[in-house]
Each structure stands twice: as structure tokens, then as C-alpha cells.
Structure 1
Amino acid sequence: MSTFPDYYQILNIPKTATQDEIRQAYRKESLRTHPDRLANASPDEKRRATERFQAVADAYYVLSDPKRRKEYDSLHSSRSDRTGDPSSSGSFFSQFAGMFGGARPGAGAGAPQQERPDAEGVFADVFEELLRPEVERVAPWWSYFGAVCGAGLGFIVANVPGLLVGGYAGNRLGAVRDAKGKSVAAVFNQLGSTDKAAILRPSQRTRQ
């Protein structure tokens, strides 16, 4: 029989923690356990960090929502096998899927199951203000290219005034191309491990 994940213990908070305390605890633990901080880690260290990072995201997903937290607490108080071991969170969302609107626990193999939260997605949502300044440093090639092309066409059509208008319009169109379909999380995931580690390094911004 699997053990029951103690999400309060995983986030290192008391059961009486406020929503703000839950958020701050998630920020601290997710930064500490994010696998991309371990640029030179062994595969086993990466695996354990990833497991811990996912469990921290699971904990935040459950406890940050008042309804999910209430449903979780009803089970939490009745279980004697609670543990802060990150591996205990693995089966939670399939075993107790009915809590969050998924399939009934014990339903057949073809029944839909509540999916675990995407750890990187949770992280990006909470840390968007941290990640955005860094990922926006990605070179806006299409913005530059659009400005040059627009300026050239504008100059042909209307000399200097056309150059200015065309350059601005081309730059804006290029910026749309740069940003289209790319969330902060998506751009962050495309960065190299060194850049990710630098972004994730604790700073004053994360301690506020």
C-alpha cells in the first residue's frame, strides 16, 4: 500500500499556513529543488531533484486552491501513513482522482484520470515576473529584420517619411513574429542549462 504525501511537510509549513505563506513556501522550495539549477549534477541527482520539484508543484497545486485544500485536508487528518517523501506524491493523483473532478478512485483502466500538474507550468505561473526579464533578452531577430525591410520599402515609396513609418511598422510586425506562440515557460525551456541556472539562482527578488 502506498503512503500518503504530506504536502504541508513537503513545503515545510504548518497546517494552519495562510495562502500567502503557501505561495512563499512554494517559491522557496521550487527554487531550491529546480533540476535546471544542477548544471553539473549526475543523472541520479537530476532524477531525485526532478522528483522533488514535481512533489513541490503537486503540493502547491493542492494547497493553493481553497477547495482542493479542503478536500485534501479531509483525507490528511484521517491518514496515519503521512510522509514527506517526494516519491509518495507519484500515485496520489490517480489514487484520489475523484477529489479533483477526475475519475472515481478504483475506476476501470479506460476511465479518465486526474493528471498531475505540470511542474514547469506551475513554476512559470508563480515566477513569471522572475523569468520574463531574462527570457525577453532573447535576440529579437524578426523585429530587427522587419525594421530593416520595412524601412527599405518605405524609403522606396515615400523617401525619408516612408523610411521612418516603414521601419516602425516592420519592427512591430517582427516583434509579433518573435513572440507568437511562445510563453515565458516555453522560451525559458529553450535556454541552455547555464542560462537557466543563472536565472534560478536565488536573488533579492525571490526573497520579498
Structure 2
Amino acid sequence: MKTALITGASRGIGRAIAEELGRDHHILAGASSDASEIVDALPSAEPFEVDLRDPSAIGSKAAEISGLDVLIHAAGLFPKGEFAEISDAQWREAFEVNVFAGIELTRALLPALRRSRGILITINSGAGFHGFEGGTAYCASKFALRGFSEALRLEEKGRIRVTSLHPGRTDTDMTAGDERAKMPASAVAKAARLAVDAEATVEFLRIAP
């Protein structure tokens, strides 16, 4: 059975992906605290509990993983508010969770992914292409994540696959209170499944379900 590490697996898109891939993967369920609920709901899973704002903790926890086939960075923060209202601490936390945590995990687990000729998927957003009012920190972090993913894809071509998912508004805690039409998180999970199950010779630059 292949192994997949999914950050943000306790809720939202991350949980939907864990449930989708959990049908035939052993899941390392990434969460900042208690991952027991999603772990108990899956056929084969264990917690990967770590503070994604702490690079040293990420490195130490990742060092416990010997083999990995799939790494999905689905954890994310959305500091809502106009630029003048967002504090320096909120800016830094958005980049720590949305960008740097995924980079740190990829750095630590790249040898394992290379050995398995595995796949890295970053869960991005339409905000990785287009800015919008009230989302300066979020949009900036997603633009940065897209740049990292696309450059890494070129550097690692032939060794691992790198794909970026850019869903639009999705029905998660992050969009609570937004009454506009939203896709279910399961739709994003199906897009992740498409990328994971593709043949080794097939690579998606980005998917926008």
C-alpha cells in the first residue's frame, strides 16, 4: 500500500482528500493538534501532528517518515480584511502556513519522494492567479506557492511529479458566511485523485476543478 501525507487533513479540502485517497493509501493525517477523528474514520491511517509554523518541529517530525509516495500540502489560512487592517503577525502566519510549511516538508521529504518517484500536490486557489479585495495576504501567499510549485516542477522533472490545484470557492470553514455558489470539497479531492493516479509519464502543471 502506498503512503500519502496530507497536511490540513482534519477538515475541509484536506479531509476530503484524505477520505478519497484513504480508500487505497495509508494516510499520514497532518493536523496542528488532534487528528484522531479523521484517523479513526480511515481504513489505514496515523496522525502527523505538528505545528506548521515551527520549521524545526516540521523537520523533526518529517524525519520519522521512511517512505512516502504522495505529499499534499492542503493546510491553509485566510486572514480576512483589507491591507490596512492586516497585522504583521497575520501576514507572517499566512506565509508560514500557506507557503513555508509546504516548502519545509518538501525539503525534508524530497529524498523519499524521489525514491518512490512520487508526487507533490500543492492545494492553491484561484487567488494564486487573481487578487481580490480583502485578501492581500492570502493572495500574496498563494501567488508565492504557485511560483514555488511551478519552478520545482521544472527542477524535479523526471524524478518526482509536481502538480498545483487551483479550486475556486469551495464549501469549507474558510468560506463560512459566503452565500455565493461553492463547489463541494469532494470535487477538489477527485481532482487530486486524478493527479495521483495518472501514469508516471503524465504530469499536470496545474488543475483547476
TM range (shorter): under 0.3
| Greater helix share, structure number | 1
Higher share of residues assigned strand: 2
With normalisation by structure 2, the TM-score equals 0.28
TM-score by length of 1: 0.28
